Amino acid sequence: MAAYSLPDTFWQQVDTFTTLLLQYNQTHNISGAKSKEVVLKNVEDSIYPLQYLNLHEIKNAIDIGTGAGFPGLLLALALPDVHFTLFEPIAKKSAFLHLAKTTLELKNVDITTNRVEKVTPFQVDLISSRAVTNTKMLVKLCKTFIDPNTTLLFYKGELVEEEIKGLKNCHVYQRDKRYYLVMKDVDAA
């Protein structure tokens, strides 16, 4: 496990993000996170698995179904040298991501208001996703982005063991009720 230290500005940016999300959420209801405590739990959940990744190998990443920013936007805050493309097909959530990107002056983030399977693929080192669909369907949706060096980081629930049956090169890490699935050299057929 690699030790990783967050950028000096991380928690200050998280504070700005939290305020922005809670304000936006009152009008547009894009997240179940309705308090600062719940937002911070989601932040911790988003960045926790960084310790399980080979971060020096990651230059380009995509996040599928970013929603209100978890985990993609938080990973982008934690990894300012990695370029993130956030896929969020729901317009009001995508609009919030654009607002957060502008407010936080994030140069390493692009936002696409589209489904990942509808976009021309490009080379990525990391694919992350939280609460989108089951593992095999998720791999199928993003298969055109996967090469032998791509790491997949999926934030899963208690059905993770069932979902990975028949898949190889899977590592599952658990923290409370969250399971972090890290896969590499995935057969995307």
Residue 189 lies in a domain: no
Residue 29: helix, strand or coil by DSSP?
Answer: coil
| Closest to 57 (Cα-Cα) out of 85, 86, 81 | 81
Q: How many domains is the chain partitioned into structurally? A: 1
Residue 72: its pLDDT value, please? 98
Residue 1 lies in a domain: no
Residue 2 lies in a domain: no
Residue 187: its pLDDT value, please? 66
Residue 1: its pLDDT value, please? 42
Residue 133: helix, strand or coil by DSSP?
Answer: coil
Residue 185: its pLDDT value, please? 81
CA distance linking residue 84 with residue 71, whole number of Å: 11
Q: Is 79 exposed, middle or buried (0-12, 13-18, 19+ CB in 10 A)?
A: buried
pLDDT per residue rounded down to tens, the chain (189 residues): 445 789 999 999 999 999 999 999 999 999 988 999 999 999 999 999 999 999 999 999 999 999 999 999 999 999 999 999 999 999 999 999 999 999 999 999 999 999 999 999 999 999 999 988 899 999 999 999 999 999 999 999 999 999 999 888 999 999 999 999 999 887 654
Residue 145 lies in domain: 10-184
DSSP code at position 161:
H
| Contacts made by residues 101-104, CB under 8 angstroms, sequence distance 24+ | 101/73, 103/16, 103/20, 104/13, 104/16, 104/17, 104/77
Q: What are the tokens at 138?
A: 């998720």
Residue 171: helix, strand or coil by DSSP?
Answer: strand
Which secondary-structure segment (H or E) carries 46? helix 36-47
User: Which amino acid, residue 23?
Assistant: Q
CA distance linking residue 25 with residue 171, whole number of Å: 34
Q: Which CATH number belongs to the domain containing residue 61 in this structure?
A: 3.40.50.150
Residue 59 lies in a domain: yes
